[in-house]
Amino acid sequence: TTAEEITRELKERLVGKKIGGKQNIDDVLKEEIKGTLASMMDIKGIDLLKEIKEKKEKPFKILFLGPNGAGKTTTMSKITHLLKEKGMGVIWSASDTFRAASIEQLEKHAENLGVRVVKHNYGSDPAAVAFDAIKAAQSKNIDVVMIDSAGRQETDKNLMQELQKIVRVAQPDLKIYIGEAFTGQALLHQAQEYDKMAGIDAFVLTKIDCDAKGGTIISLLYRIKKPVLFVGTGQEYKDLKKFEPEFILDRIIA
Ligand code: GDP
């Protein structure tokens, strides 16, 4: 669908267009293609810092969701690093009570970053953990609660219902879908299913350093019409870039 739309708009821009003597055809084409792609990525962004600051009642609640291994924990750490640099207080909810070692993994990052983790035992109700984390943040006047969640396939009905329960109980201000930039068409499908089940407010696309041009982002933005907050550019906490359409355009059209 996205490719068809690109073709349609390009035709509209190019058919019958006169290109003057001094103009280089390649340059004109590149500009028109860039313009077409940019218009398809023109989605109103979210200023995360502003939203957090402007929320009247603390804490601002962020839920991280997406499939296993996409980079949820890493991205949560990166965003925490960013917010802490801006002087904000962050607390984490270890709501992946499903995957072995997930809580320990979270605690390791938390120790590095100096944030508190609210946790229960493995197998316990992830929504209850989130509830406790929110209470803890309220009592200590902490700015942001970040809720990790177990990675799941969109086809897993039980886990998707569990996710819906987290959403119901925690009432997140922002639900961020974490996906791998190089997953292609499957990412779009998966994100659409997640959106239907739990509602997505924004994306972070990870591993853009792993040889991905990031073309999937065009489809995501055009089809789902939710902004991409950041792209992950590596494994370290600093490897997070605010998403700008030019970033993708320059990679696709050199
Ligand atoms: P989760 O299961 O969704 O919580 O995924 P993790 O946060 O544990 O990440 C899975 C793996 O992907 C880890 O080895 C991370 O270091 C790696 N990873 C996450 N984000 C990025 C990124 O932007 N670039 C690269 N190269 N690796 C990443």
Interval between CA 107 and ligand 1 midpoint (Å): 16
Interval between CA 68 and ligand 1 midpoint (Å): 10
Residue with tokens 């639900």: 175
Percentage, residues of the chain above pLDDT 70:
99
Strand locations in 30-95, DSSP E?
60-65, 90-93
Interval between CA 101 and ligand 1 midpoint (Å): 15
Name the pLDDT band for 241 (thresholds 50, 70, 90): very high
Which of these, 71, 63, 95, 67, lies nearest to 153 by C-alpha position? Answer: 67
| Probe residue for ligand 1, chosen from 77, 159, 235, 242 as the CB with the greatest number of ligand atoms within 8 Å | 235
pTM: 0.93
Q: Is the pLDDT confidence value at 216 over 90?
A: no
For residue 68, give the ligand 1 atom closest to its CA: 2
Q: Is the pLDDT confidence value at 254 over 90?
A: no
Q: Is the pLDDT confidence value at 34 over 90?
A: yes
Which of these, 254, 175, 187, 240, lies nearest to 218 by C-alpha position? Answer: 187
| Probe residue for ligand 1, chosen from 73, 80, 146, 206 as the CB with the greatest number of ligand atoms within 8 Å | 206
Protein residue with least CA distance to atom 16, ligand 1: 235
**What are the tens digits of pLDDT across the range 129-168?**
999 999 999 999 999 999 999 988 878 888 889 999 999 9
**DSSP SS3 for 132:** helix
Pocket of ligand 1, beta carbon within 6 A: 68-74, 151, 178, 206-207, 209-210, 232-235, 239
DSSP 170-189: H--SEEEEEEEGGGTHHHHH
Name the pLDDT band for 251 (thresholds 50, 70, 90): confident
Protein residue with least CA distance to atom 13, ligand 1: 71
